[in-house]
């Protein structure tokens, strides 16, 4: 316990890992719909923190250092190619950067043995930034259940506090998921609430918009970015001029909500469980399920209902 007036104040510059973009020792989400360049943005942050060069050639890195990266969705050679392209855009040599890539076949943040290994790795190399991409490949929990999501996020928060490391978690968003970008994140609302710094990517027609959100600082206006090719190298960059304001998305339909819950479930779901999860009256739920079954998107089997995989 400590008197409030005795807590040491941090100067403005010491509050940032990447000035204006990611707070010092912040945990948070890099979110967006599929194919919105979330992984490119995460890798751009990694290159910038490791090299001290400006992220997106614009946001200044205050305290550069080692980066630890888990890229669970992409092949290692693809990660290397993307890092090479970003380094070329930033004018740095990848061989000179201290970016460590986790290469184990699987990393599951809900398994105690993997939690211990990650903690030991972070303790050993003392990274300034830990990038986990994407969340869906790093666990076996139900993302819609807050009682399962919250403990996992708490473990990452504990990792941040124990080792003074920023944590960037790449996560998918659903289409038209809410009036604010954070409300579109797939799964439990715990994910949106957890972040100190959150970055959201949205496509508006052909334009890619980056929205920045901070817990302890004012959020700047959204900016427009683009994925620019330089020969066979690709990297994000800021586009000059104001960004187009994203249209206000509509809330997902009840039918879409039921299908999404079934698609994320690891096993068939009974009517009662599905009703509790979706918050829909039983009569209306049965009507929705009948329609989804008729459309071939859902099937009824022994034990309940399940989505039909494409």
Give the relative orientation of helices 76-90 and 38-51 as an angle to the nearest 10 degrees: 60
Q: Where in the chain is the domain with CATH 1.10.10.10?
A: 254-307
Fold of the domain spanning 12-238: Rossmann fold (3.40.50)
Whole-prediction pTM value?
A: 0.76
Pairing of strands 99-101, 67-71: parallel
Whether the pLDDT of residue 181 is over 90: the answer is no
CATH 1.10.260.30 fits 254-307, yes or no: no
Rounded Cα distance, 58 and 97, in Å: 19
Q: What is the mean pLDDT of residues 274-300?
A: 86
Angle, alpha carbons 181-54-222 (nearest 5°): 25
Q: Where in the chain is the domain with CATH 3.40.50.300?
A: 12-238
Contact call for residues 169 and 28 (beta carbons, < 8 A)? yes
- What does the pLDDT read at residue 236? 95
- What does the pLDDT read at residue 303? 83
Structure confidence by residue, pLDDT tens digits, 135-180: 999 999 999 899 999 999 999 999 999 999 999 999 999 775 555 6
Pairing of strands 16-18, 22-23: antiparallel
Whether the pLDDT of residue 248 is over 50: the answer is no
Structure confidence by residue, pLDDT tens digits, 103-119: 998 999 999 999 999 99
Structure confidence by residue, pLDDT tens digits, 3-59: 675 665 555 556 899 999 999 999 999 999 988 999 999 999 999 999 999 999 999
């Amino acid at each position: 316990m400590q008197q409030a007036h005795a807590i040491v104040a941090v100067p403005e510059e010491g509050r940032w890992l990447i000035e204006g973009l990611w707070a010092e020792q912040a945990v948070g989400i890099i979110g967006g719909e599929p194919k919105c360049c979330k992984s490119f943005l995460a890798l751009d942050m990694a290159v910038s923190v490791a090299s001290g060069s400006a992220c997106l050639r614009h946001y200044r890195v205050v305290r550069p250092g080692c980066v630890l990266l888990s890229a669970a969705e992409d092949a290692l050679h693809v990660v290397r190619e993307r890092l090479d392209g970003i380094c070329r855009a930033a004018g740095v040599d990848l061989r000179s950067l201290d970016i460590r890539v986790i290469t184990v076949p699987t990393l599951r943040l809900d398994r105690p043995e993997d939690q211990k290994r990650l903690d030991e790795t972070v303790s050993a190399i003392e990274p300034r930034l830990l990038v986990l991409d994407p969340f869906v490949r790093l666990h076996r929990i139900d993302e819609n259940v807050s009682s399962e999501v919250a403990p996992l996020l708490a473990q990452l928060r504990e990792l941040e506090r124990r080792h003074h490391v920023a944590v960037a978690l790449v996560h998918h968003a659903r289409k038209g998921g809410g009036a604010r970008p954070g409300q579109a994140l797939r799964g439990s609302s715990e994910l949106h609430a957890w972040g100190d710094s959150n970055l959201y990517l949205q496509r508006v027609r052909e334009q890619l918009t980056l929205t920045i959100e901070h817990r302890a600082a004012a959020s700047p206006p959204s900016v427009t970015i683009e994925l620019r090719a330089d020969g066979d190298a690709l990297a994000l960059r800021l586009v000059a001029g104001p960004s187009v304001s994203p249209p206000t998305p509509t809330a997902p339909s009840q039918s879409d909500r039921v299908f999404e819950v079934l698609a994320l479930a690891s096993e068939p779901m009974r009517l009662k469980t599905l009703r509790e999860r979706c918050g829909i009256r039983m009569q209306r739920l049965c009507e929705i399920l009948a329609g989804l079954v008729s459309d071939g998107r859902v099937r009824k089997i022994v034990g309940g209902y399940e989505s039909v995989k494409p």
